[in-house]
Structure 1
Amino acid sequence: MMIDRREFLRLAAVGGGAAFLSAFYRPSLAGVPGTPMTGEDDFYFVQLSDSHWGYAGDANPEAAHTLPMAVEAVNMLSTPPDFVVFTGDLTHTTDDPKERRRRLAEFKDIVSKLNIRTMHFMPGEHDASLDFGAAFKEFFGPTHYTFDHKGVHFIVLDNVSDPGARIGDSQLDWLRQDLSSRDRQAPIVVFTHRPLFDLVPKWDWATRDGDKAVELLMPFANVTVFYGHIHQEHHRMTGHIAHHAAKSLVFPLPSPGSQDKRTPLAWDATKPFKGLGFREVEAKPISAAYEIAEFPVVKV
C-alpha cells in the first residue's frame, strides 16, 4: 500500500517531529547576494544511521529485521526522496576481515531494495576503524567526498577511519580547498558520523580535531550538520551552525553523560523498536528552514 508522506507522518507521529531554522539560500551570482530559494527548489532526503548489520544481542533480539523494516517504510512513501544518506555504522564491528566484508555485502544487498535512484554512504567506526576503511571502500567507494543537489553543497566527512577519532590534516586540507571557492552565503550541509563537537568525550562522542572542521565552516552563513553515532535524536548549536543527530536502527543509547558507561538501553518486549527510527529532512524555501521529521521503525 502506498501512502501519502503527510499521512505516513501522522501515522508515525510517535516518532515526533521538529523544524529548525537553518537558512537555505542560492549561491550569489555575479556578485549579487544570495536570495531565498523558490518553491521549485523544494526537495527532501532521508537519513538513516547506525543499522549495525550483523549485531546479535539482548539490546535488540530483532536486529535482523529493523533494517529491512526501514527499507520497507521508506519505499511506502508515495513521493520518493531525492536521495537517501546512511551516516555510518552500516555494520557491526568484527575482527574478522572476511566477516566484515560479508556483512557489508549483506547490507548493500538489503538497501539495494530501496526504490531510490540515488544513495550516499559513509562509514562509521564499526565499519572502518579496524582497517582504515579498506573494506568499506571496496563496497561503497571514498569515505569522504562532496556532491551538489539543487543549489546545495553537501560535504561528507570521514572522522572514523582514523582509529584515533580524527579527521586528519590531509582531509582538513581537502576541506579547506573545497570551501575556498564557495560563496559564504551558499547553503552547505555536512554529513559525518561522530559529532564534530565534544558531546561526551569519555563515551567517544567527539572528534578530536572536529573543532578545526567547525572553524573552517564557521565563516559560512548557512551550514547544517547531520550525524549519527549517538543512537538518538539530539540537537546542538556551535555558534550559528546547527548539528542534528539521528536515531539508530539497532538500539538506543542513554542520554549524553547521564550514566557512567554508554551501555544500550534495555530492550522492552512490550514496546519493540522503541527509540529506533530514521528521519526525513525537507528544505522549506519559503520559511528558509529545514523541516526534520522523525519516523519510528514500525510497520504501518
Structure 2
Amino acid sequence: MTAYDAHDEPAAEHGMTRRQLMRHAGWFGGAVVLTVAGGEVISQIAGARGSTAAAATGSAGTAGTAARTAAADSGTLRFVQVSDSHIGFQGPANTDVAGSFTEAVNQVNSLGFRPDFVMHSGDLTHLSTAGQFDQVKQMMAKLRTDRVFTVPGEHDSIGDAGRAYRRTFGTGTLGDGWYSFDTHGVHFVALVNTLSLEKLGHLGNDQIDFVRKDLAGLSSDTPVVVFSHIPLFAMYPKWGWSTDDALKVIALLRRFSSVTCLNGHVHQLFSKTEGNITFHSATTTAYPLPKPGRAPAPTPQVVPARQLKAALGIRSVGYHRGDRELAVKDQRLA
C-alpha cells in the first residue's frame, strides 16, 4: 500500500500525453472528513458554524449527537480526504494555491482529533514536475496523522505516464499505482482512472482483475471504501466526469452491504446513492469549477475572494466498528 513517511519509488509506464492533458485542462477536486456513527451518515457544510446541512437518517440533532458520540469513542475510525490542490497552478482563479492548501492542512490539524490517515484524491500538482511533487509532499508532511495515502489525477501524469508521481508516491503500489489496505474493520481500495484516457476516466482490465481478486476473500458485510480521482458514476460524461469501464467494478461491489466511493476531479460537492453504493465527490483546495452544463467547459472559475474560500474545503469521514455506513462531513475553508 502507498502510505508514506518520506520515501517512494517508481512503478509502471503508460498514461496521458501533454496533448491529451490540454483536452482536459479543466479537470480538478477538494478535501473531506467522513464519520459513521449509529448507522447514520452525517453530511455537513461548516460555512455556518455547527449547522448541519443534511443527515441521511434521523434528525439533524440526532446526527450531531451521534457524531459527538463517535468522536468520543476511541474505536471510531476517522480519516480526512483532501483533493485537487493543483500545486503549481498560476491564474486569476487562485493566485496562491499553495497558500490555500496550507490553510487546508492547518484546518485538518485543527479538527480536534488526530485522523487515522489522510487521503489526497488526486491532482496533487498542476503540471507534474519534480519540484511540484516535492513541494506538495513537504506540505503534506505537516499533517498531524500517522499515514498519508494518495491516488493520482490526470494533472499528475502530464507527459510521462505518471512516472514522476510514482517515484514520489508509488512505493508499495501495483501496476499504475493502485492498492488496497484494511483498518478498523473497513476495506479500502485506491484506484487509478486517469491514465489511458481520451475523454472519460479509464481503469483497464489489469486493474479490474486486481479489484476482483482483492475483494474475493471478503465477507459481504465488510464495509468497503473506494478512492479514485475521476468519478466512478456518470456525473457528467460530456465533460469527462465519468469512468468508461467503472460498471465492471461496480458489479463487483454490489454484493457488499455498505460501499462508499470517494472522488475528486470535479471541484465541488456532489452525492449520489445507487442501492448499496454511495458516491461522494469532494471539493477542491485550489479553485472552483462550474456546475455541470452551466458553462461551455469545466474551466477554472474566477470569483470574489470571500466566495473563493467558501468554495474550497476538506472532508472528514468517520466509522464506528459494527455500524453499516460511514458519516461524511464537508467543511469549507472560509
Flag whether TM exceeds 0.5 (same fold).
yes
The reply to whether residue 229 of structure 1 matches residue 258 of structure 2 is no
SS of residue in 2 equivalent to 1:244: strand
Deviation, 1:158, is: 0.6
Aligned to 1:63: 97
Deviations 1:201-234 (A, max 9, x none): 1211011111111111112221110111100110
Aligned to 2:145: 116
The equivalent position to 1:53 in structure 2, one of 87, 93, 108, is: 87
Deviation, 1:115, is: 1.6
Aligned to 1:78: 112
Aligned to 1:176: 212
Aligned to 1:137: 166
Matched length: 269
Provide the C-alpha distance between the structure 1 equivalents of 2:51 and 2:290, rounded to a whole number of angstroms. Answer: 17
Provide the C-alpha distance between the structure 2 equivalents of 1:47 and 1:55, rounded to a whole number of angstroms. Answer: 20
The equivalent position to 1:127 in structure 2, one of 156, 177, 180, is: 156
**Residues 222/272 of structure 1: CA separation in 2 closer, same or farther (3 Å cut):** closer
Deviation, 1:48, is: 0.3
Deviation, 1:287, is: 6.1
Deviation, 1:284, is: 4.7
Deviation, 1:235, is: 0.4
Deviation, 1:45, is: 0.6
SS of residue in 2 equivalent to 1:289: coil
The reply to whether residue 104 of structure 1 matches residue 140 of structure 2 is no
Segments of structure 2 that go 5 or more residues without pairing to the other structure are 1-44, 58-72
Contact 1:130 1:163 in 2 (8 A): no
Deviation, 1:12, is: 6.0
The equivalent position to 2:77 in structure 1, one of 33, 40, 43, is: 43
Contact 1:44 1:281 in 2 (8 A): yes
When normalised by structure 2's length, the TM-score is 0.75
Corresponding letter in the other structure for 2:300: P
SS of residue in 2 equivalent to 1:13: coil
Greater relative contact order (CA < 8 Å, ≥ 6 in sequence): 2
Aligned to 1:92: 126
Identical-pair percentage: 36
Contact 1:50 1:249 in 2 (8 A): yes
Provide the C-alpha distance between the structure 2 equivalents of 1:139 and 1:15, rounded to a whole number of angstroms. Answer: 39
Contact 2:184 2:321 in 1 (8 A): no
Segments of structure 1 that go 5 or more residues without pairing to the other structure are 1-8, 22-38, 95-99
The reply to whether residue 251 of structure 1 matches residue 251 of structure 2 is no
SS of residue in 2 equivalent to 1:243: strand
Provide the C-alpha distance between the structure 2 equivalents of 1:275 and 1:233, rounded to a whole number of angstroms. Answer: 9
Provide the C-alpha distance between the structure 1 equivalents of 2:88 and 2:325, rounded to a whole number of angstroms. Answer: 37
The equivalent position to 1:201 in structure 2, one of 223, 237, 252, is: 237
Aligned to 2:250: 214
**Residues 216/11 of structure 1: CA separation in 2 closer, same or farther (3 Å cut):** closer
The reply to whether residue 278 of structure 1 matches residue 314 of structure 2 is yes
Provide the C-alpha distance between the structure 1 equivalents of 2:317 and 2:122, rounded to a whole number of angstroms. Answer: 17
Contact 1:159 1:166 in 2 (8 A): yes
When normalised by structure 1's length, the TM-score is 0.83
CA RMSD of aligned residues (A): 2.3
* Larger mean Cα displacement after TM superposition, 282-291 or 207-216: 282-291
